[in-house]
Amino acid sequence: MQLEVRGKKLAVEKQGSGEAVVLVHGLGSTLNVWEPQVRALADRFTMVRMDLEGAGRSPAVGALSIDGWVQDLKAMLDALQIGRARFVGHSLGTLILQHFAVAHPAQVDKLVFLGVNRAPPEARRAAIRERVAKVRAEGIDAIVETVVKGGLSPHTLAEKPEVVAFARDC
């Protein structure tokens, strides 16, 4: 579904029933990356995921920032009438959720972080800045191949085209 929040349309998927689990993807990804988790858990939980602004089916409307994504997440939860939830983030999603938890602690039941972004050494910071600049200049599609190659084993890349295609689409 398309959910309008803060003057923009965000792609949001909500499936299942029970306590809410909110899934936040990383840079270069989309809400599709969480499909296996949704399929496994939707019989026990309400699984909520969205394409962050600038990713997947959520077009970039303005400047992208952690603060903007945090505000979008809060607005999405309010629109869906979710007061408290469990949150799972991957990579960039961990940064967004760290900021969200500080800003809105009453809404956070539990946090799970995968591929946590910690304070990297300067060489890694430079690489991250280059990746962000590339996305800002050329769009998210400019880094998809790098993300796919970095996230899959050489065996999977060579022998499992269906997995590669799924990862590329996420």
* pLDDT tens, residue by residue, 10-63: 999 999 999 999 999 998 889 999 999 999 999 999 999 999 999 999 999 988
Residues 23, 64, 10, 170, CA torsion sign: negative
* pLDDT tens, residue by residue, 114-131: 988 666 678 877 887 888
Note whether 130 and 143 are within 8 A (CB). Answer: no
- List the domain boundaries for the chain: 1-118, 120-170
Kindly report whether the global pTM for this prediction surpasses the value 0.95: no
Q: First and final CA of the chain: distance in angstroms? A: 17
When the candidates are 3.90.1150.10, 3.40.50.720, 3.40.50.1820, 2.60.40.10, the CATH number that belongs to 1-118 is 3.40.50.1820
